[in-house]
Structure 1
Amino acid sequence: MSATAETPLRIDTGEELDRIVDGHDVVLAEFYTKGCTLCQSIEPVLGNVERATDARVVMLNPETDLSLVEEYDIRSVPTLVLFEDGQRVARLAKGFQGAEEILGFIEEHTDDR
């Protein structure tokens, strides 16, 4: 896994998420569901976010690991959860967000690197 990847990484389980969070300083996880048009729309935005930041962006469908729904309190999709230094620091669950909003969200909730 490269911290300079250009596309979000699709993962299936909480264990995979834990490994990625442990291996990167900043991780942005998008929780989505299949068929969600807002989730499909945000995917290219997340690619732009990954190219513009040091954050590793991952995408998870909680239907593949239902324990994620409760653990991360997923009530709507897309939901973005931000991790820094292995800790959950913020979440954003306001539907579709553009790159500027997501970049601002990351900047607001992480230390300058």
Structure 2
Amino acid sequence: MSTLHIVCPDCQAVNRIASERLAQHPRCGQCKQPLFSAHPLELTGRNFQQHIARNDIPVVVDFWASWCGPCKMMAPAYAQAAVALEPHVRLAKLNTEQEQGIAAQFNIRSIPTMVIFKSGHEVARMSGAMSAADIVRWVKSSM
């Protein structure tokens, strides 16, 4: 039985979960909230590094902005992909207007751009709006 570290989307506590229990709707040991909600997690400068570096599951980050038409068009598809990929992959969103430093750190030049992080490192990147099926296919093929 292997153990995974999963960061709570509510209190940011790092939880140890048996990999076999991921599909059993685990809750945070500290705040008792669900560790997965089948919705993309909103990242900020305060919680970005914790989720990227401390989650043992891959984290897919959608770098977006509120003024971006393709970003708005892709948002429902990204939410559908979260339903399909969790709990084995965490989907998250980062508003590049509010977090320009993080966007610059990762050299985000066009949006939407999705980046897959594993153990704190970028493993794949894709720019442009995609359908839910294409997002799921891309994430699975990049693992």
TM-score, normalised relative to structure 2: 0.68
Unaligned runs of 5+ in 2: 1-8, 10-33
Asked if the contact 2:64/2:113 (under 8 Å) is kept, the reply is yes
* Pair 1:42 & 2:82 matched: no
* Pair 1:31 & 2:31 matched: no
Displacement of 1:84:
1.8
Give the match for residue 116 of structure 2: 82
Give the distance between the partners of 2:68 and 2:62, measured in 1 at CA: 12
Give the distance between the partners of 2:44 and 2:67, measured in 1 at CA: 16
Unaligned runs of 5+ in 1: none
CA RMSD of aligned residues (A): 1.6
Q: Which of 83, 95, 107 is the matching residue for 1:51?
A: 83
Runs of 4+ with >3 A deviation:
none
Give the match for residue 131 of structure 2: 98
Asked if the contact 1:3/1:56 (under 8 Å) is kept, the reply is no
Q: Which protein shows a greater Rg?
A: 2
Aligned residue pairs total 108
TM-score, normalised relative to structure 1: 0.85
What is the aligned-residue identity percentage? 24
Select the structure that is richer in helix.
1
